[in-house]
Amino acid sequence: MDRLANTVRPYAWGSTTAIPQLLGVEPTGEPQAEMWMGAHPGAPSRTDRGTLVDVIAADPEKELGPAAVAKFGPGLPFLLKILAAGAPLSLQVHPDLQQAKEGYEEEERRGVPVDAPHRNYKDANHKPELICALTEFDGLCGFRDPIRTAELFEGLGVDSLKPYVDLLRAHPEDAALREVLTAVLTADPEEMAHTVAETTAACSRLGGDYAPYAGLAHHYPGDPGVIAAMLLNHVRLQPGEALYLGAGIPHAYLSGLGVEIMANSDNVLRCGLTPKHVDVPELLRVVRFEANDAGVLRPEASPDGEEIYETPIDEFRLSRYVLAEGGPTRDLTRATPQILLCTAGSVRAGEHVLAPGCSVFVAAGERAEVSGTGTLFRATVVA
């Protein structure tokens, strides 16, 4: 069992206080957005044996187990994070596996440098993800019923939104959503900036259902993503609740602290709320124009106390244990690789005592006994 030393990424949208508070350290004054746990080459966790990338590469079958290597290849297929949003992240969507392979191969064929700002596909993998709230957590997830969005737009009294209202009331639903998103993202920038300003003022004045959208223009003035964001469901997670974001589902995280797990990929197509490249044609190819509820997940408890967040993919499986004082020692030994992360209290994992924010890597088949008082997240795969 390897104790992990993890990198904190200082993205501009990160909270300056949430991760330091979890770790029990003084804030630096700089944003601290994400703490990465895993074997992503961009910021691999470090162990006494070297980086987790090097440890796994030295003997993939020993570290990951034969079943995981056969199913996913010789690398850890997930990336675990603590995410702290102090400002809204970009409105974004992720491709499915086939779209990622096709997009990556096409950009490779055209010779687009992998670090080019207009590059869409950094790798050939999909990026399903799950966010589980540690604090109250605000986000946008999936398209709202277009009729409901039309009513919201009408309630603002902004003349330049009226064409979108007419489109949203049209049928079929998928075509209506596609036409509105296309119109918003391809509108004249000056006209859109004026629409955003009027819409933001109206949202601020009215509050209520409009409140989540009122602050977006403060961070991204004139950005068409402010209007695009109003097409989506707003959701407020309570601690322990989660969202699963599959391929093609537009989403954005607005504020809060959470545990995030995803397939080991960097593929993001942005819809707005960002100064970065927005490839509208490719975005429209990937987005699923379906109206759905946000789909809040709550864990399902097993007889041994493991609370599992069920998702339809195999690259990751997230669960948690809420350990009570004087409770039994639990055997978490598993034939697949694991990362164990403490988020509250004090948990003993093998010889390691984990405080909040501390984690260990457990190789496939390695004995993993845990005890203590606190909350422990377990990340593994289904193989």
Element (H, E) at 286: helix 280-286
Nearest alpha carbon to residue 286 among 140, 129, 107, 94: 94
Catalytic residue among 270, 317, 320, 378: 270
Task: Let me know if 288 is a catalytic residue.
Answer: no
As a whole number of angstroms, the distance between CA 329 and CA 349 comes to 10
Q: Are 379 and 349 in contact (CB under 8 A)?
A: no
Output DSSP code: residue 55. Answer: H
Residue type at 152? Answer: L
Element (H, E) at 120: none
Phi/psi of residue 41, nearest 5 degrees: -60, -20
SS3 for 118? Answer: coil
Q: Are 231 and 144 in contact (CB under 8 A)?
A: yes
What's the farthest any 2 CA atoms get from each other in the chain? 65
In whole angstroms, what separates CA 315 from the centre of its chain? Answer: 15
In this structure, the chain runs to a length of 383
Query: Residue 191 burial by CB count (10 A; 0-12/13-18/19+): exposed, middle or buried?
Result: exposed
As a whole number of angstroms, the distance between CA 287 and CA 204 comes to 29
In whole angstroms, what separates CA 82 from the centre of its chain? Answer: 10
Q: How many helices (H) and strands (E) does the chain have?
A: 13, 22
What one-character-per-residue DSSP string does 186-254 give?
A: TS-HHHHHHHHHHHHHHHHHH-GGGHHHHTHHHHSTT-THHHHHTTEEEEEEPTT-EEEE-TT--EEEE
Element (H, E) at 51: strand 50-51
Element (H, E) at 66: helix 66-72
Nearest alpha carbon to residue 1 among 66, 55, 75, 39: 55
Residues designated catalytic: 270
